[in-house]
A = this chain, B = another copy of it.
Amino acid sequence: MSVTSTVEFEVRWGECDPAGIVYHPHYLDWFSVTRMHLFRNHGAPYMASFHDNGVVLVALGVECEFRKVVRAEDVVRVTAELLDLTRTRMSIEYRVTDGVGEMVATGRTRHAFVDKQQHPINVAKKSPELWSILTRMKNAK
Protein backbone atom coordinates (compact mmCIF):
# COMPACT_ATOMS: atom_id res chain seq x y z
CA MET A 1 0.00 0.00 0.00
CA SER A 2 1.02 3.51 -0.76
CA VAL A 3 0.50 6.82 1.00
CA THR A 4 -2.82 8.66 1.08
CA SER A 5 -4.12 12.09 2.02
CA THR A 6 -7.68 13.16 2.72
CA VAL A 7 -9.17 16.62 2.29
CA GLU A 8 -12.62 17.71 3.39
CA PHE A 9 -14.62 19.93 1.02
CA GLU A 10 -17.80 21.80 1.68
CA VAL A 11 -19.62 21.86 -1.65
CA ARG A 12 -19.76 25.44 -2.96
CA TRP A 13 -22.92 27.00 -4.39
CA GLY A 14 -20.94 27.90 -7.50
CA GLU A 15 -19.89 24.27 -7.97
CA CYS A 16 -23.52 23.23 -8.47
CA ASP A 17 -25.58 23.40 -11.65
CA PRO A 18 -29.25 24.05 -12.48
CA ALA A 19 -30.04 20.42 -11.59
CA GLY A 20 -29.04 21.44 -8.05
CA ILE A 21 -26.11 19.04 -7.84
CA VAL A 22 -22.34 19.32 -8.24
CA TYR A 23 -21.44 19.99 -11.88
CA HIS A 24 -19.23 16.98 -12.55
CA PRO A 25 -16.05 18.72 -13.84
CA HIS A 26 -15.58 20.09 -10.32
CA TYR A 27 -14.78 16.60 -9.04
CA LEU A 28 -11.56 16.85 -11.05
CA ASP A 29 -10.82 20.13 -9.31
CA TRP A 30 -11.23 18.44 -5.92
CA PHE A 31 -8.89 15.69 -7.12
CA SER A 32 -6.33 18.36 -7.99
CA VAL A 33 -6.55 19.98 -4.54
CA THR A 34 -6.26 16.61 -2.81
CA ARG A 35 -3.33 15.55 -5.00
CA MET A 36 -1.46 18.70 -3.98
CA HIS A 37 -2.18 17.95 -0.30
CA LEU A 38 -0.85 14.44 -0.83
CA PHE A 39 2.45 15.85 -2.06
CA ARG A 40 2.67 18.56 0.59
CA ASN A 41 1.82 16.22 3.45
CA HIS A 42 4.72 14.02 2.44
CA GLY A 43 7.33 16.72 1.98
CA ALA A 44 6.84 18.01 -1.56
CA PRO A 45 4.57 21.07 -1.66
CA TYR A 46 3.61 21.44 -5.32
CA MET A 47 4.45 25.11 -5.81
CA ALA A 48 7.91 24.85 -4.23
CA SER A 49 8.90 21.30 -5.23
CA PHE A 50 7.33 21.09 -8.68
CA HIS A 51 6.23 24.43 -10.14
CA ASP A 52 9.09 26.68 -8.96
CA ASN A 53 11.46 23.82 -9.65
CA GLY A 54 10.57 23.61 -13.34
CA VAL A 55 8.68 20.32 -13.02
CA VAL A 56 5.15 20.26 -14.43
CA LEU A 57 2.89 17.32 -13.60
CA VAL A 58 0.75 17.41 -16.73
CA ALA A 59 -2.43 15.31 -16.96
CA LEU A 60 -2.39 12.50 -19.51
CA GLY A 61 -5.78 11.08 -18.65
CA VAL A 62 -8.60 11.14 -16.14
CA GLU A 63 -11.49 8.84 -15.33
CA CYS A 64 -14.26 9.38 -12.86
CA GLU A 65 -17.39 7.43 -11.92
CA PHE A 66 -20.23 9.12 -10.08
CA ARG A 67 -22.28 7.07 -7.60
CA LYS A 68 -24.31 9.53 -5.57
CA VAL A 69 -25.15 13.19 -6.04
CA VAL A 70 -24.27 15.90 -3.54
CA ARG A 71 -25.38 19.51 -3.36
CA ALA A 72 -24.28 22.87 -1.97
CA GLU A 73 -23.29 22.89 1.73
CA ASP A 74 -22.89 19.09 1.75
CA VAL A 75 -19.51 17.98 3.03
CA VAL A 76 -17.43 15.41 1.15
CA ARG A 77 -14.08 13.85 1.92
CA VAL A 78 -11.67 13.14 -0.91
CA THR A 79 -8.84 10.65 -0.41
CA ALA A 80 -5.97 10.50 -2.88
CA GLU A 81 -3.61 7.52 -3.05
CA LEU A 82 -0.42 7.29 -5.04
CA LEU A 83 -0.85 4.23 -7.29
CA ASP A 84 2.09 4.08 -9.66
CA LEU A 85 5.31 5.99 -10.02
CA THR A 86 8.09 5.84 -12.57
CA ARG A 87 10.76 8.38 -13.48
CA THR A 88 8.45 9.77 -16.20
CA ARG A 89 4.91 9.00 -15.06
CA MET A 90 2.64 8.87 -12.04
CA SER A 91 -0.93 7.75 -11.40
CA ILE A 92 -3.20 8.56 -8.50
CA GLU A 93 -6.54 7.14 -7.34
CA TYR A 94 -9.33 9.08 -5.61
CA ARG A 95 -12.32 8.15 -3.48
CA VAL A 96 -15.01 10.68 -2.58
CA THR A 97 -17.32 9.93 0.35
CA ASP A 98 -20.12 11.96 1.87
CA GLY A 99 -20.98 12.83 5.47
CA VAL A 100 -22.39 9.38 6.22
CA GLY A 101 -19.43 7.61 4.64
CA GLU A 102 -21.19 6.56 1.45
CA MET A 103 -19.21 6.50 -1.78
CA VAL A 104 -19.98 9.55 -3.93
CA ALA A 105 -17.39 9.10 -6.66
CA THR A 106 -14.15 7.35 -7.54
CA GLY A 107 -11.50 8.39 -10.02
CA ARG A 108 -8.00 8.07 -11.35
CA THR A 109 -5.60 10.53 -12.96
CA ARG A 110 -2.46 9.72 -14.94
CA HIS A 111 0.32 12.25 -15.28
CA ALA A 112 3.66 12.77 -16.96
CA PHE A 113 6.57 14.83 -15.70
CA VAL A 114 7.32 17.56 -18.24
CA ASP A 115 9.29 20.81 -18.26
CA LYS A 116 7.84 24.28 -18.77
CA GLN A 117 7.98 23.76 -22.54
CA GLN A 118 5.94 20.60 -22.05
CA HIS A 119 8.80 18.28 -23.00
CA PRO A 120 8.92 14.95 -21.16
CA ILE A 121 11.55 14.78 -18.45
CA ASN A 122 13.09 12.13 -16.23
CA VAL A 123 12.22 13.55 -12.83
CA ALA A 124 14.99 11.57 -11.13
CA LYS A 125 17.53 13.42 -13.28
CA LYS A 126 15.83 16.80 -13.28
CA SER A 127 15.32 16.88 -9.50
CA PRO A 128 16.93 14.07 -7.49
CA GLU A 129 15.56 15.59 -4.27
CA LEU A 130 11.95 15.49 -5.51
CA TRP A 131 12.48 11.97 -6.86
CA SER A 132 13.75 10.88 -3.45
CA ILE A 133 10.60 12.22 -1.76
CA LEU A 134 8.32 10.62 -4.35
CA THR A 135 9.98 7.21 -4.04
CA ARG A 136 9.67 7.37 -0.25
CA MET A 137 5.96 8.09 -0.77
CA LYS A 138 5.63 5.13 -3.11
CA ASN A 139 7.42 2.73 -0.79
CA ALA A 140 5.82 3.82 2.49
CA LYS A 141 3.95 1.10 4.36
- Tell me the A residues contacting B by CB distance below 8 Å: 10, 12-14, 16-21, 23-26, 28-29, 32-33, 36, 40, 45-47, 51, 56, 58-66, 69, 71-73, 116, 118
CA distance A17 to B36 in the complex (A): 14
Q: Are A66 and B72 in contact (CB under 8 A)?
A: no
B-side contacts of A58, CB under 8 Å:
19, 21, 66, 69
**Oligomeric state, in copies:** 4
CA distance A56 to B71 in the complex (A): 15
Q: Are A73 and B40 in contact (CB under 8 A)?
A: yes
B-side contacts of A118, CB under 8 Å:
21, 69
CA distance A20 to B47 in the complex (A): 10
Name which residue of chain B comes closest to A69, CB basis: B118
B-side contacts of A62, CB under 8 Å:
24, 62-64
Q: In the complex, how many angstroms separate the beta carbon of A1 from the nearest chain B beta carbon?
A: 25
CA distance A33 to B73 in the complex (A): 9
B-side contacts of A47, CB under 8 Å:
71-73
Q: Are A13 and B23 in contact (CB under 8 A)?
A: yes
With A13-B36, A33-B12: A63-B66 Cβ-Cβ less than 8 Å: no
Most interface-central of A12, A17, A40 (chain B CB within 10 A) = A17
Q: Are B18 and A32 in contact (CB under 8 A)?
A: no
